[in-house]
A and B are shown apart, each in its own frame.
Chain A
Amino acid sequence: MPTLISTPFGFQTTAAEVLDGVDLSGKRAVITGGASGIGIETARALAGAGATVTLAVRDTAKGGEVAAEITRTTGNEQVDVGALELTDPASIDAFTGDWRGPLDILVNNAGVMALPERTLTSDGQETQFATNHLGHFRLAVGLHDALAAADGARIVAVSSAAHLRSPVVFDDLNYSFLEYDGWAAYGQSKTANVLFAVGVGQRWADDGIVANSLMPGSIRTGLQRHIDPEWYERVREQLKDVMPVKSPEQGAATSALLAASPLLDGISGRYFEDVNEAEVVPERGGLGGKGVAGYALDPANAERLWDISLELIGA
């Protein structure tokens, strides 16, 4: 492992602070899930730095309101909305088919967490893996040429410390055999996000495309909608010292770093948290555990996941 990348930023830093002095004018960015939570703040920070931003969202009416609000707060008129449903291949293909010109920044930010029951997409894939990983994989593959056409494109894969709860279980991705556990399935999907970034580093480096992944922190957003509120408050109480809550502006900071900071020029395939690269840890640790699992950065796992994902999206 080469030396870990460290920055002057940390837990408290906001997305706007990370991009202070960075000029993104002329750059084009897509942010999935850009109409809620840290997606909004990531979009706002990029727009604030002058980028042209597309919010790729399920609910385009809400997306329109968010876009208008971002324009109002940043003065940047180049904020628009595209319809994207990550569990629907046709929706993804329509989005990528409509895209014209180069794409500089793709932030794979949307996600679902801890679905209480095992649910499968119409393609038979477990929904968290399908949404968080496969949908974004299909999107990235669909946008590959646009990314390659940019001068050094960056992909940001929003993962989570929950990846420490499960490797990708290649022999049973859909919990056909394993007993379904909402957090294990979330963990698997978030490990897949890290491995995806490693895979981009392996496969698309010659196209000038880099990708990194991150743990945004613990932020109260729509992501917790499938969690029992009482349980959530109880866990939050236990976590208050080891993993305090971040504001959405702070939660978007690591995404902003990976998307646009010159500190990350040329860096690919790495995992960050609290706006710095994380170290590899040998075990999960307790609640609020930090670091990245070796299995999530493993090149052979990344390669295997890439091949399987290509197969699953029918590419």
Chain B
Amino acid sequence: MTQADLITTPFGFDSTAAEVIAGIDMSGRRAIVTGASSGIGVETARALAGAGAEVTLAVRDTSAGDRTASEIVASTGNTAIQVGRLDLADRASIAAFAASWSGPLHLLINNAGVMALPDLQLTPEGWELQFATNHLGHFALALGVRDALAAAGDARIVSLSSRGHLRSPVVFEDVNFTSRPYDPWLAYGQSKTANILFAVEATRRWGGDGIAANAVHPGAIAETNLSRHMDPAVLADLRASGALKFKTIEQGASTSVLVASSPQLEGVGARYFEDCNEAAVVDPETSEVGLAGVAAYALDAENAARLWEVSLDAIG
């Protein structure tokens, strides 16, 4: 993909979720936002609700979800906000959530995530927990609501990835660190690459049903719970250093909301966005890796197909 083919929008780093959705009418559209009771999930849900969408907050902690829902109702005046219990590391919870869904689903925002778990943790099925939560859980969820997405006719999936994907491809021969020494950021990076590959293959497989999936890097947002596994001192140093430009939560939700709602992106799939624009593929020979852009391995069709097969096996 050449630079010229990239999708550009009038929005950028500073745009907020409310700005990118201004003037867009989402009434009649039904959305699920995972991890919607904290961080950018709240603001993503709020922006969609503010535009008239019916929003279900899919969360682990339903009492936190209820509080968020009430607060969104109060701030937007939209009363069509529900809460559903969803634990992405628990197969039964995902199955129950998907089974309870009825009617079409227009927007699935795979927003929940865990980052940089300090020690190697495996699910009962033996999968590394970041890969399991960030990728496999969302994969199982998407499969579970696939018919509802198809019923919408023009559904969109937003897969929250991260610039962290530049730290690692999916290492298919050792996804669970049985050989490689565990590294929290490597494992996070692998899971975030998987989020992009999922969007690539979901679009290929489900495009015929009008389902389009894209991946986004929301930006670095210091105020969310995602950084709870990081050493606070490290985080403080990072903020003080100015090496990384941080976003507010409202800015952090904008790329998700843009990809979920912009008429400009109708029918667009299998792409990766950051700062409200499609990102260029990183050439490691000519640019500093890690600062921006998308790795070729994360958009690779063969990798995407392989991950899908591995994931189907994994969720049985």
Contacts and interface: CB of A to CB of B under 8 A. Distances in A.
A171 B297 contact: yes
Contact of B179 (A166, A298, A301): A166
Interface size class of B (residues with CB under 8 A): 20 to 34
Given A165-B180, A174-B284, A177-B289, 12 more contacts: A165-B179, A166-B174, A169-B169, A169-B173, A177-B169, A177-B297, A178-B168, A179-B167, A179-B186, A282-B178, A293-B173, A295-B173
B285 A124 contact: yes
A246 to B, nearest CB: 24
A199 interface: no
Contact of A165 (B181, B185, B186): B181
B145 interface: no
B171 A167 contact: yes
A177 B167 contact: yes
Chain A CB count within 10 A is highest, among B166, B179, B185, B303, for B179
B186 A178 contact: yes
9 contacts: A165-B179, A166-B174, A167-B173, A167-B174, A177-B167, A177-B295, A178-B186, A179-B186, A295-B174
B61 interface: no
B180 A184 contact: yes
Interface of A: 124, 164-169, 171-172, 174, 176-179, 184, 187, 282-284, 293, 295, 298, 301
A169 B168 CA distance: 10
A297 B11 CA distance: 50
A283 B120 CA distance: 14
Contacts of B173: 167-169, 293, 295, 298, 301
B71 interface: no
B284 A176 contact: yes
Contacts of A176: 284-285, 289
A293 B284 CA distance: 30
Contacts of B284: 174, 176-177
Contacts of B223: none
Contacts of B289: 176-177
A295 B172 CA distance: 9
B300 interface: yes
A177 B174 contact: no
B179 A293 contact: yes
B179 A167 contact: yes
Contacts of B171: 167, 169, 171
Contacts of A169: 169, 171, 173
Contacts of B290: 177
A107 to B, nearest CB: 27
A108 to B, nearest CB: 22
Given A171-B300, A171-B303, A284 B167 contact: no
